[in-house]
Amino acid sequence: MIKKAVEDALNEQINAEFKSAYLYLSMSAYFQGTGLSGCANWMRVQYQEELAHATRFFDYVHERGGKVLLSPINEVQVEFSGIVDVFEKTLEHEQVVTGMIDRLMDISIQESDHATKSFLQWFVDEQVEEEANVGQILNNLSLIKGEGQGLLMMDREMKSRVFVNPFPAKI
């Protein structure tokens, strides 16, 4: 049986993951509207990843005998000042998510919940990768000053990203 403090924190994370998905879908829509279909695709894959993360947390709470509590999703940003702004906000958002995962890990350690600690390790590692990927995109955008032929090449490259669900279906 899952402890109340862990269950509450996991429910917060489930809702945060759904909000992240919504944010990335909004960013995808922004890019689609600006003609950067590769960037739109990249964000659509981010959206799918966040849904997979939320679903995995959702399933885990149930596996441990807990109750999932979903909350309404507040509005997310829909207007941006350009590609650099979007990816700067993406990095900031991923850093917030990293802090949330770290907090979850701290709670699982405080509660001596070794199963949740083990479960969370994948997400700790995932956040390192997420921040590094967005950091590399920002670095590349800096090199090309976020414009011109370099931007077109980046957009074309981002179009090739595909979603691969890291979690097998539970149902």
Determine the pLDDT at residue 17: 97
Query: Under a CB-based contact definition with an 8 Å cutoff, are residues 131 and 94 in contact?
Result: yes
Specify the pLDDT at position 1. 86
Distances (CA, A) of 137 to 112, 134, 169: 38, 5, 31
Classify 3 as helix, strand or coil: coil
Contact yes or no for 9/62 (Cβ under 8 A) = no
Q: Which residues of the chain have pLDDT under 70?
A: 170-171
pLDDT at 143: 94
SS3 120: helix
Counting beta carbons within 10 angstroms of the beta carbon of residue 55, is it exposed (0 to 12), middle (13 to 18) or buried (19 or more)?
Answer: middle
Domain extents in the chain: 4-158
Task: Report pLDDT for 108.
Answer: 97
What pLDDT is recorded for position 14? 98
Any idea what DSSP says for residue 81?
S
Residue 168 confidence (pLDDT) = 74
Q: Which of 109, 102, 11 is nearest to 54 (CA)?
A: 11
Among 3.60.9.10, 3.40.50.1100, 3.40.50.720, 1.20.1260.10, name the CATH number for the domain at 4-158.
Answer: 1.20.1260.10
Round to whole Å and give the CA distance between 1 and 156: 48
Q: In the prediction, which pLDDT does 65 show? A: 96
* pLDDT tens digits, 17-48: 999 999 999 999 999 999 999 999 999 999 99
Instruction: Enter the pTM of the model.
Output: 0.94
Q: What is the pLDDT of residue 171?
A: 59
